[in-house]
Chains A and B, each alone.
Chain A
Amino acid sequence: MIHFVLLISRQGKVRLTKWYSPYSQKERTKVIRELGGVILNRGPKLCNFVDWRGFKVVYKRYASLYFCMCIDQDDNELEVLEIIHHFVEILDRYFGSVCELDLIFNFHKAYYILDELLLAGELQESSKKTVARLIAAQDSLVETAKEQASSISNIIAQATK
């Protein structure tokens, strides 16, 4: 099971955090600080796994961002690497060659995508296409709702003129 997902920039800034096991705010800050210290300082050629407090943290760097996932001792690290890559590819498709700024300003969208990919710390969907389709469908629902709202407010605005 994945206990949490962290996206940390090379400067140690948090870009996304998702906790599937309960951690208090204090613990979360501590975990982020600790792992940031360990992972950001590792050299480029080293393996992508870090033993940490009886768990394993699998991380991979994409450009300036480190994607980290914390898993149990007996989970398959190599698979988690694939899941990270899977996530990155979906982000890339959604944003169109994703960069850190996309994730900063549209962090909520990154969360929506993650929620279609993982649930309860387990993989939910292995097809990038399906995830993209589900997200697009929900986005269009939001758009329609917005349009409706604005058209209603237009009507009200015109009526009250």
Chain B
Amino acid sequence: MNPFSSGTCLRDMIRAIRACKTSAEERAVVRKECAAIRASINEDDQDYRHRNLAKLMFIQMLGYPTHFGQMECLKLIASAGFPEKRIGYLGLMLLLDERQEVLMLVTNSLKQDLNHSNQYIVGLALCALGNICSAEMARDLAPEVERLLQFRDPNIRKKAALCSIRIIKKVPALAENFINCAASLLKEKHHGVLITGVQLCADLCKVSSEALEYFRKKCTEGLVRTLRDIVNSPYSPEYDISGITDPYLHIRLLKLLRILGQGDADASDRMTDILAQVATKTESNKNAGNAILYECVETIMSIEDDGGLRVLAINILGKFLSNRDNNIRYVALNMLMRATTLDAQAVQRHRATILDCVKDSDASIRKRALDLLYLLVNDNNVKPLIKELIEYLEVSDQEFKGDLTAKICSLVEKFSSEKIWYIDQMLKVLSEAGNFVKDEVWHALIVVISNASDLHGYTVRALYRAFLTSTEQETLVRVAVWCIGEYGDMLVNNVGMLDIEDPITVTECDAVDAVEVAIKRHTSDLTTKAMALIALLKLSSRFPSYSERIKDIIVQNKGNVVLELQQRSIEFNRILQKHPKFRSALVERMPVLDEATFSGRRAGSLPTAISTSSGAPSNLPNGIAKPATAPIPDLLDLSSDDVPAPSSSGGDFLQDLLGVDLSPTPAPSGADMPPKASTDVLLDLLSIGMPLPVQTGLSASDILSSSQDDKAPFVNFNGLASLSSLSANATSPANAAPMMDLLDGRGPGPQKSEENGQAYPSLVAYESSSLRVMFNFSKQRGSPQTTLIQATFTNLSSNVYNDFLFQAAVPKFLQLHLDPASSNTLPASGDGSITQNLKVTNSQHGKKSLVMRVRIAYKTNNKDVLEERQINNFPQNL
């Protein structure tokens, strides 16, 4: 005899587990029991099989794995006696679900048991089948279940009916086999069979339109009669629940009538009388009665009706809404939400009550009420409702504020007829619950502010006031800082004073103070601080007398641990110190942000065109004069051919303009994923004045830096530095040197290669009578394995090449990243070129040199041309 199998009985095990004081103790007990059960299973011990399974069910309920007991269920089911089968089927339903393959093994036992002479065993099998059968089992056993729908005992018929529901849900194609049997169940007198039969019909209608038509024609009358009988039935103790005979049957009948009446005027007409009777006669002081009324209201609102009944239904909901029971109010709100599509006017009458529900102490009710109220807002009532909601925002629970804020913002946006109202409401929301405002919402606010040119002064003053009173709201601080930076002069000079405003005196010093507060707040996050730095830079130009103080504040962040802030601080300091000439041009007020583009982007699709960034330099986002910046591309030896910029460059248009998108650059995983370096606020401020040879979301920085770096501004700064040293002689070499160290050869241009002393000779990778491909190489310091290659393609023939496509392949020890090409059209006779950047990482650097196979495809004179070649002559040590 196995020493384990004698073990403890179920009761003892449960006691032992309950006696455990810690979960570690409990685990130990369970582990011991499981070991004993496993041993017993291995012994194939028949006497204790059912006890083991019972224990396993308890253990499973506690959340421990019990898969090793699954086969025991099957064995118990396969044994002859009722007690074994009973526990076996229970275990099957608890330990397995339809997704386990073991379940297939039980199909045969189920089939036998469905044909068993003992009706209780048939019942067990039906129960298991109905609870966990898979589609395959449903297909195999459907004929048995269908037969059992006519079994002599009603308790088997009701189980078979519910089992059929599972089967037709798993395999809808089987539905038609069940239609006739289901219809015959509707004539039964036994409540259990009637309830399950009605339910089966309802589910058949959902999966089969044929069934719906059939029941509509043949059964509507009968169902109405059954409902009438049950409504008028005398007291019957067996089914009575608080004075109503079998509310479950009521509800199911109403539900099926709803399905039959929906979209069919004739059927609807036949049921109006009984619905009216149910709606008026049902007692509404107990839950059971209310459940029936609730179902009845839903049926009335779903069927085709002239409106007489609907008034009744809405009145019932009105009564529900004023009920003191929270459950009733909850379902009323739920139902009113559906009623808004039918009769919004009637629901509007309850607006005040619904508004009260928004302020309820119960989270479930609040949520429903807010959803409903959201549907009720229209142009006429938006102002008072928003006022109420914003007032409530002040006192609402923290966890509800997020939801409420989102809804308010969305409503304000949707119904804003005047900009001043929109700005006012948004400022209120920002001051109350700024921390819950989503990014795109305050971005949108800035877009609107920038578009409302007559309100700039008003807005900046309002924001300044709000900022003074509540500095805890992150987004409020951000918007305020942005506006002070942009419109600081209006704040100080009281430009564009409106009649409704209180006069306010703000000195230049106050404005700078405010931004300084923002940058020094401990709670300010990176985005806010970065925005504050930009605001300071802008203010330095708006208030020249405070330039020194601003410089001091900026310099304080020179040693910031966050790279982004450190970098901005150093760059801005540089601008203040060395380039006073450019400063005013650099920090000019932002051009008006394009509302249509922004809303288009918010709608989820990329805009087809960014009107401000394609074409002529005068349209560029920051409107920098071309002469100041034009030399940069030349200095950097970039292609500056007049290829029109492809229009889809606006991926991060607004973020770039705001300079707030600080998301880390995603690691490039393939050539189709252009590096996204939108942290380069300076770059955007400078707004390089060349027609950007940009494709698919690449910003200018990508071209300049030609690497996936997230420090693009340095590169650009290099451009600026070289520019100034060449053109203005303003920068001494000594000053420029540390900058160069920082720059570290990020640029692709040969000049920079020389500066770093890491020059590699350019390579004519490929030359034919029609095409020349040049490779320029550069390295990033610190990663000798990685080579940046700029490929330049020149057309030597006299025909234009269209659909130009360059592809490259490398052996496994290399990794290749291809950036998009600057264009796909190559002008004839060397009159311009295409450039494309490649990044190759050599995992065997120093041992093997680069090798590459290239394929170039293009169209010329409507002919497809394909050229292929292997390139072996790369310089050593790449």
A157 within 8 A of B: no
CB < 8 Å: which of A24, A79, A81, A124 contacts B158? A124
- Which residues of the partner chain A approach B260 to less than 8 Å between Cβ atoms? none
Question: B68 at interface (Cβ–Cβ under 8 A)?
Answer: no
Alpha-carbon distance between A22 and B61 when the two chains are bound, in angstroms = 16
Partner of B248, one of A14, A123, A141: A123
Is there contact, CB below 8 Å, between A107 and B249?
no
Q: A107 to B192, Cβ gap below 8 A? A: no
Tell me if A47 is interfacial: C-beta within 8 Å of chain B.
yes
B139 close to chain A: CB less than 8 A: no
* A85 vs B65: C-alpha distance when bound (angstroms): 32
Closest to A134 in B: B155
> CB distance B90 to A108 under 8 Å?
yes
Collect the chain B residues with CB atoms within 8 Å of residue A112's CB.
Answer: 86, 90
- B interface: dominant SS: helix
Bound CA–CA A78/B254 (angstroms) = 14
Question: How far, in whole Å, are A137 and B155 apart by their CA atoms in the complex?
Answer: 12
A22–B248 contact, CB under 8 A? no
Task: Please name all residues of chain A whose beta carbon is closer than 8 Å to the beta carbon of B166 when the two chains form the complex.
Answer: 120
**Contacts of A122 on B, CB cut-off 8 Å?**
162, 165, 196, 199
Q: Tell me whether A45 is interfacial, beta carbon within 8 Å.
A: yes
- Minimum CB–CB distance for A91 against chain B, Å: 16
Q: Is A142 a contact of B63 with CB atoms below 8 Å? A: no
Closest to B128 in A: A115
A25 in the interface (beta carbon within 8 A): yes
With A and B bound together, what is the CA distance between A81 and B288 in angstroms? 9
CB < 8 Å: which of B98, B163, B331, B363 contacts A77?
B331
**A22-B98, A49-B330 known; A130+B155 contact, CB < 8 A:** yes
With contacts A14-B61, A47-B362, A107-B57 taken as known, whether A79 is within 8 angstroms of B82 at the C-beta atoms is no
Closest chain A residue, CB of each to CB of B120: A138
A145: contacting residue among B14, B63, B83, CB under 8 A: B83
Chain A residue numbers with a CB within 8 Å of B365 are: 46-47
**Which of the segments B215-223, B239-247, B307-315, B853-861 contacts the partner chain?**
B239-247
Pick the contact of A82 from B11, B93, B97, B247 — CB < 8 Å?
Answer: B247
Residues of chain A from 90 to 105 with CB closer than 8 A to chain B in the complex: 104-105
Complex contact B364–A145 (CB within 8 A): no
Output the least CB separation between A87 and chain B (Å): 12
Interface size on B, residues (CB 8 A): 68
B768 at the A/B interface (Cβ < 8 Å)?
no
Q: Which of B162, B239, B361 contacts A119 (CB 8 A)?
A: B162
| B248 and A82 contacting across the interface, CB-CB below 8 Å | yes
A138 CA to B90 CA, complexed, in Å:
14
| Other-chain residue from A23, A78, A105 in contact with B327 (beta carbon distance below 8 A) | A78
> Which residue of chain A lies nearest to B18 when distances are taken between CB atoms in the complex?
A104
Minimum Cβ distance to chain B for residue A119 (Å): 4
Q: Assess A126 versus B248: contact at CB under 8 Å? Given A77-B331, A105-B14, A107-B57.
A: yes
CB distance from A66 to the nearest CB of B (A): 15
- A83-B83 Cα distance, complex, nearest whole Å: 28
CB of B645 within 8 Å of the partner chain: no
User: Known contacts A16-B61, A119-B127; is A79 also within 8 Å of B291 by CB?
Assistant: yes
Residue-wise, chain B 234-270 has the 8 Å CB interface mask toward A (1 for contact) of 0000110100001111010001000000000000000
The reply to whether the CB of A50 lies closer than 8 angstroms to some CB of chain B is yes
Contact call A119/B98, Cβ cutoff below 8 A: no
Interchain CB contact under 8 A, B326 and A47: yes
Say which residue of B247, B290, B364 sits within 8 Å of A50 (CB atoms): B364
Within 8 A of A (CB), among B70-108: 81-83, 86-87, 90, 93-94, 97-99
Q: Is B130 an interface residue (CB 8 A)?
A: yes
> Residue-by-residue, is B669-698 near A (CB-CB < 8 Å gives 1, otherwise 0)?
000000000000000000000000000000
A145 touches B81 (CB 8 A): yes
Which A residues touch B334, using CB under 8 A? 77
* Residues of B close to A146: CB separation below 8 A: 83
Q: Considering the chains assembled together, what is the distance between the CA atoms of A101 and B321 in angstroms? A: 39
CB distance from A51 to the nearest CB of B (A): 6
Contacting residue for A76 out of B126, B291, B326, CB 8 A? B291
Whether B162 and A23, one on each chain, are in contact in the complex, defined by CB atoms closer than 8 angstroms, is no
Question: In the complex, are the beta carbons of B58 and A107 less than 8 A apart?
Answer: yes
Q: Which residues of A contact B251 (CB under 8 A)?
A: 76, 79
CB distance from A90 to the nearest CB of B (A): 13
**Residues of the B chain whose Cβ atoms lie less than 8 Å from the Cβ of A107:** 57-58, 61
Q: B479 to chain A: closest CB distance in Å?
A: 32
Specify which of B58, B61, B195, B249 lies most central, judged by the most chain A CB atoms within 10 Å of its CB: B61
Interface: B367 (CB within 8 A): yes
Q: Is A62 an interface residue (CB 8 A)?
A: no
Interface size on A, residues (CB 8 A): 55
Chain A residues near B81: list those with CB within 8 A.
Answer: 145
Bound together, the chains give a CA A112 to CA B764 distance in angstroms of 83
Q: Which residue of chain A lies nearest to B327 when distances are taken between CB atoms in the complex?
A: A47
A24 to B131, CA, bound (A): 15
Q: What are the interface flags for B713-755 relative to A under an 8 Å C-beta threshold, 1 for contact and 0 otherwise?
A: 0000000000000000000000000000000000000000000
CB atoms of B163 and A119 under 8 A apart: yes
CB of A51 within 8 A of CB of B367, answer: yes
> In the docked arrangement, what's the CA distance between A112 and B88, Å?
12
What is the distance, in angstroms, from B125's C-beta to the closest C-beta of chain A?
A: 12
Choose from B18, B123, B159, B295 the contact partner of A79 (Cβ within 8 Å): B295
Are B192 and A126 touching (Cβ within 8 A)? yes
- CB pair A119–B61 under 8 Å, yes or no, is no
For the complex formed, measure the closest distance between the CB of B472 and the CB atoms of chain A, giving whole angstroms: 27
Across the interface, which residues of A come within 8 angstroms of B192, CB to CB?
124-127, 130
Identify the closest chain B residue to A74 (Cβ). Answer: B298
How distant is A30 from chain B, measured CB to nearest CB, in Å? Answer: 10
CB pair B248–A79 under 8 Å, yes or no, is yes
Bound CA span A120–B241, Å = 24
B24 part of interface (Cβ distance < 8 Å): no
List A contacts of B158 (CB < 8 A): 124-125
Neighbour of A49 across the interface among B65, B246, B290, B364, CB < 8 A? B364
Q: Would you give the shortest CB distance from B111 to chain A, in whole angstroms?
A: 19
Given known pairs A120-B166, A130-B155, the reply for A138 and B86 (CB within 8 Å) is yes
Q: Which of B61, B62, B329 contacts A47 (CB 8 A)?
A: B329
**Chain A residues engaging chain B, CB cutoff 8 angstroms:** 14-20, 22-25, 28-29, 32, 43, 45-51, 76-79, 81-83, 86, 104-105, 107-108, 111-112, 115, 119-120, 122-130, 134, 137-138, 141-142, 145-146
For the complex of A and B, the 9 pairs showing the least CB-CB separation, nearest first, are A78-B291, A47-B326, A120-B130, A119-B162, A46-B362, A120-B166, A142-B83, A126-B248, A125-B192
Q: Which B residues are within 8 Å of any A CB, using their own CB?
A: 11, 14, 18, 54, 57-58, 61-63, 65, 81-83, 86-87, 90, 93-94, 97-99, 120, 123, 126-127, 130-131, 155, 158-159, 162-163, 165-166, 191-192, 195-196, 199, 238-239, 241, 246-249, 251, 255, 287-288, 290-291, 294-295, 326-331, 334, 361-365, 367-368
23 A-B pairs within 8 Å (CB atoms) are namely A14-B63, A20-B131, A25-B65, A32-B63, A43-B362, A51-B367, A51-B368, A78-B290, A78-B331, A82-B241, A82-B287, A86-B241, A119-B126, A119-B127, A119-B163, A120-B163, A122-B199, A124-B196, A126-B191, A126-B192, A127-B238, A130-B192, A142-B82
Excluding A25-B63, A51-B368, A141-B83, 14 further A-B contacts by CB distance (< 8 Å) are A17-B61, A22-B98, A24-B99, A45-B326, A45-B362, A46-B363, A51-B364, A51-B367, A78-B294, A79-B248, A111-B90, A119-B126, A134-B155, A145-B81
